[in-house]
């Protein structure tokens, strides 16, 4: 048993296969039938060759300057994965559950299914359990190159071996022709202990050649109004605070002017998110609303022809959709 445990802990002994493509499963089925033919059947062993395409990576990376983004259905919480040509970013890690968390149950299986074994960056927008609940599982299994956060410096997630950086407006980086820029919190907010966690949220603007995204976490009205001095206009908006009445003020919505508003919320959650009056503000200006509680996970692809979205509900409906 000691040997088995040692082998299990050795990274080289762990094989993680991305989800196979549909056509490879069809070929594999034919291959199994072929291998099941009676012994002596001509070329029977060649059926094994039809099993090999299942091992081919089905990863579709964006071109330089393009962006792929997936809002995962983690229930009442937030978790998004952003992919450029050669880099992966996780923005928030969803909630924790009784005895488990969205990191181990949802995010890690999805990453493995997509063939993503590395996170070049990870953002924990603020210290709320519905945004950090899955972080420990992620950090234990995939070691991001760095962690950008708005957590207290004494937070247990901030281990010494982790390359952690406090989120402050003005920070930014470029990956594969895509620009990432931190818009909030400003230094005064970071230094003020009276500011509540939601208003410390790490707000990030993403600009690709094909479009723009604003990730707003849980900022509330007071922070939204201060953000009006920043370049907010974006094609895609992660609706602040899951569509709560505390956020999505009219001036903020008008400044962002999103074509698509993403709401990450749990089915029939006890907070009543998203609020009907909040949704109405977006609908009044013709914004398309995509909700994880109604549509499931959503994959957005930005290329030379613009944005394209696919929802889990459209592919495989569940009772909560």
As given in the structure block, the two tokens for residue 197 are 């966690």
Q: Which of 182, 187, 119, 190 is nearest to 150 (CA)?
A: 190
Q: Are 210 and 304 in contact, with CB atoms under 8 Å apart? A: yes
pLDDT of residue 312: 85
Q: Nearest 5°: CA angle at 173, between 172 and 174?
A: 140
pLDDT at 50: 54
- pLDDT for 154 equals 94
Could you list the mean pLDDT of each consecutive 10-residue stretch along the chain, which spans 321 residues? 50 51 62 68 62 61 95 98 98 92 96 93 98 97 96 94 96 98 98 96 97 98 98 98 98 98 97 98 98 97 91 70 49
Question: Per-domain residue ranges for the chain?
Answer: 20-58, 67-315
- 111: its two tokens: 């990453």
Q: How many CA atoms lie within 13 A of 41 on its CB side?
A: 11
Residue 96, phi then psi, degrees to nearest 5: -95, 150
Distances (CA, A) of 269 to 36, 126, 130, 238, 289: 50, 20, 12, 18, 18
Q: What is the structure's pLDDT at 13?
A: 46
CA distance 249 to 220: 9
Helix (H, G, I), strand (E, B) or coil at 69: strand
Using DSSP's 3-state secondary structure scheme, residue 169 falls into coil
* CB-count burial class (<10 Å; 0-12, 13-18, 19+) for 235: buried
CATH number of 67-315: 3.60.15.10
What does the longest C-alpha to C-alpha distance in the chain come to? 80
pLDDT value for 64: 96
311 strand-pairing partners: 298
């Amino acid at each position: 048993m000691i040997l088995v445990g040692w082998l299990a802990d050795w990274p080289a002994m762990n094989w993680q296969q991305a989800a196979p493509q549909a056509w490879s499963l069809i070929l594999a089925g034919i291959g199994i039938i072929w291998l099941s033919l009676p012994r002596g059947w001509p070329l029977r062993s060649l059926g094994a060759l039809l099993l090999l395409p299942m091992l081919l990576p089905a990863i579709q990376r964006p071109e330089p300057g393009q962006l792929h983004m997936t809002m995962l259905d983690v229930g009442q919480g937030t978790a998004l994965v952003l992919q450029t040509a050669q880099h992966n970013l996780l923005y928030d890690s969803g909630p924790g559950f009784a005895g488990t968390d969205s990191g181990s149950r949802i995010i890690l299986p999805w990453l493995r299914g997509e063939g993503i074994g590395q996170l070049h960056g990870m953002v924990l927008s603020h210290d709320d359990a519905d945004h950090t609940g899955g972080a420990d599982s992620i950090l234990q299994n995939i070691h991001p190159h760095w962690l950008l956060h708005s957590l207290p410096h004494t937070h247990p997630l901030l281990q010494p071996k982790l390359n952690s950086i406090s989120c402050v407006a003005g920070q930014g980086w470029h990956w594969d022709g895509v620009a990432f820029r931190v818009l909030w919190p400003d230094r005064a907010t970071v230094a003020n202990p009276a500011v509540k966690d939601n208003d410390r949220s790490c707000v990030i603007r993403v600009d690709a050649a094909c479009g723009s995204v604003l990730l707003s976490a849980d900022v509330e009205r007071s922070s939204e109004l201060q953000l009006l001095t920043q370049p907010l206009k974006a094609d895609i908006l992660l609706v602040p605070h899951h569509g709560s009445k505390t956020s999505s003020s009219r001036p903020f919505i008008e400044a962002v002017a999103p074509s698509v508003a993403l709401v990450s919320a749990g089915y029939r959650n006890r907070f009543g998110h998203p609020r009907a009056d909040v949704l109405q503000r977006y609908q009044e200006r013709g914004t398309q609303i995509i909700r994880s509680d109604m549509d499931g996970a959503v994959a957005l692809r930005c290329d030379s022809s613009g944005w394209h979205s696919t929802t889990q509900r459209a592919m495989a409906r569940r009772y909560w959709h």
